Structure formats: structure tokens, C-alpha cells
Structure 1
């Protein structure tokens, strides 16, 4: 099984993350930020990656360290669970509709971290979560996971739908990209021979 557990402890956060890439989308999430928990639950459920996420952060200051470090820990856990990346599909994309909103997500599990986030919000908060933290989460996740990640909301007006379509789009793309392709089993999907 392709699993990994990460414990990340700093003076700002204490995080434990366990992932199973070959799971069923089972999750248990607690970050102290309700809307963030909801988004991470969507990520797990729609990627079919089992996730157990426990974050205790310095929320008395603000949400920055909690959101950033959780993204780093989840990304690192997925990177470790991928191992040598033999047999994975590597590339994937997804269109994620949610009512009036449509978001496009494309990823390459390349070993070259990069994030393009073309999504805008018209309100500063969703529930108790600062909307400016969404881009930072996606950037932190891509950096630690070593993936190239493009997220673009093509249109949408409801801020909840915009955020959720981004996470669900990532989930659907991850689900495909981490899958083992039976035609490539045992091979690294790169002419370089390593990712």
C-alpha cells in the first residue's frame, strides 16, 4: 500500500497527517478552521485518498501558519506515499462544475513544484476562513508535493462554490494522476527515468 505519515512540529503548529493513496476517500480532519476542514474533506473524498489530518496552530495570531503548514504536511505525505513514482499516470486535469461555477485544474507530478492560481474571491472570509489563504494553501501543497499545479476558475459568483470547485478539481486530478497505469506498471513516466 502507498501510505505515509508526516509529523510536523514547529513553534507555530503541531501537525500529524496520514495518507493512503489507494484508499476509498475516508477522512478525519481537524484544523481548528471549520471551512478549511470542509475543503480538506472534499479533497479526500473526491480523490479517494484516505486522509487523517490533525492540526493545532497558533490561531490566536491568525490562520496563516495553520493553513500553510497543513498544506506543506499534506503535500509531503503524498510525495512520500508516491515513493519512486513507478507506474503512475503522472498527468491529469479536471473540470469541476459547482452550480454557476466552473474551475479547471491541471497537474503534473513532475518533481518540479510550481503553482499558478487564477481564482478570485469577492469576499474576505468564508465562514471563519480568510479567502486570501486559499491561494497560499495551494502554493504550499504544490511546493511540498513536488507537483506543477494550475488552478483557474473560468467563471463563478458564489464564493463558497468557487473555493469548493478548486478543491474538488484538485481532488479529481490527483485521483487520476496518482493511479497506477497498468500499461506503465513498474516504469517511471519520464524519459529521464526519474521524477
Structure 2
């Protein structure tokens, strides 16, 4: 009998793509990811603003992404958001394979009205998240989602994608704009990092 939190993966033959499902007593999540396709389906997690952010992630990263999820939203969105980040990270790891030829690094500045976010990403195989917005006085929530929920989404992603991610907010205090600008900057950095630009591994170690 599998442990309830153990992901089940279905290998795909359609290029750099994957499907990962993760089920626990708190959430049930399936992510379909295709790094070389811009086709995607509207996400369905039961949380309207989080769906909006996942849709923005797919569109700005220009990847094929479908996320179907349920969670214990009657408690609060923390488990759903964090576990979606975990599952997305697992799906990216599977889709990237040995990471040979990828650009590896990505960086993006994204403004949204008064907000300016900066995200730098390294798909190094080593997990680290530096999330500077947690030191800011960010006002309010966005549909019940806060920047702390976003931090846990990105932490789950980093831990399971083997990603080094640095997030800064140079201006902005309103939660909706801060969260959305970060997601869009993350998406654009991810778009650059996963691009195949050579036939070599971007590391002096010979592997990532």
C-alpha cells in the first residue's frame, strides 16, 4: 500500500511533458505539464484567485499546464496552495529529465501599477527560496490568499523542482498586486530557464 503522500507519475512520450498526481488526507492534485506547448486548460482548484494566478503562470511562462485539485478549503487555502506547489515542482523535475541543454537561469522584473517584483531562478537541482516580501508590510488578502500562502507555494515548488529562487518586491504594498506581480515575474523567469539552448549541461560538474 502506497503512503498517502507519495506521488504517482505517468511517463509521457510527448517531448518534455509529465503528469503527476499527489493525494493526501488534505488535498488531491493532478498536474499535467508540457514545457514545449502553449496549450493549457483553465486550472480548477476551487479557489478563484489561486486559479487566476495559475492561469497567469501558464500564460506568461508559455507552457502547457493543466491543474485539477481539491483541498480542505473549509479550513483555509494553505494546504491546497502549498501542495499544488509541491506537485508542480515534481512535474517540472520529471519533464526536465537530466536537464541537459536547458538555459538553467532566468530573471524577470514585472511591474503592476504601483508594484515592482523581481524574480531570479536557477534550476540547479538544489532547493533554496529567498522570499523578501515576508519582511514587508503587505496590506490585505486577495480572495483569501496572502503573500505568505504564495511563499509556501514557491517553497513547495523549489523543494521538489530542485530550484534556487530569489523573490524581491522593490515597490508595492497591496496584496493582490504584490502576489500577481511575483507570479508573473516567476513565470517569465521560468520560461527562460527551461529553454533548450545547447546540447551541453550548463554546469562545470557535468550534471544538474
- Normalised by the length of structure 2, the TM-score is 0.88
2: distance between equivalents of 1:109 and 1:117?
Answer: 17
Q: CA deviation at 1:121?
A: 5.2
Unaligned runs of at least 5 residues, structure 1: none
- The question of 1:103 aligning with 2:117 is answered yes
Partner SS, residue 151 of structure 1: strand
Question: Quick check: 1:63–1:130 contact (8 Å CA) kept in 2?
Answer: no
2: distance between equivalents of 1:130 and 1:12?
Answer: 19
Question: Quick check: 1:92–1:173 contact (8 Å CA) kept in 2?
Answer: yes
2: distance between equivalents of 1:16 and 1:36?
Answer: 15
1:191 equivalent in structure 2 = 204
Aligned length: 192
1:153 equivalent in structure 2 = 169
Question: Quick check: 1:96–1:168 contact (8 Å CA) kept in 2?
Answer: yes
Q: CA deviation at 1:158?
A: 3.0
The 5 Å alignment of 1:28-67 reads 28-67=42-81
2:183 equivalent in structure 1 = 167
1:82 equivalent in structure 2 = 96
Q: CA deviation at 1:28?
A: 2.2
Q: CA deviation at 1:129?
A: 2.1
Partner SS, residue 111 of structure 1: coil
2: distance between equivalents of 1:192 and 1:25?
Answer: 35
Over aligned residue pairs, what C-alpha RMSD do you find? 1.3
2:18 equivalent in structure 1 = 4
2:3 equivalent in structure 1 = none
More strand by share: 1
Q: CA deviation at 1:157?
A: 3.3
2:7 equivalent in structure 1 = none
Q: CA deviation at 1:144?
A: 1.1
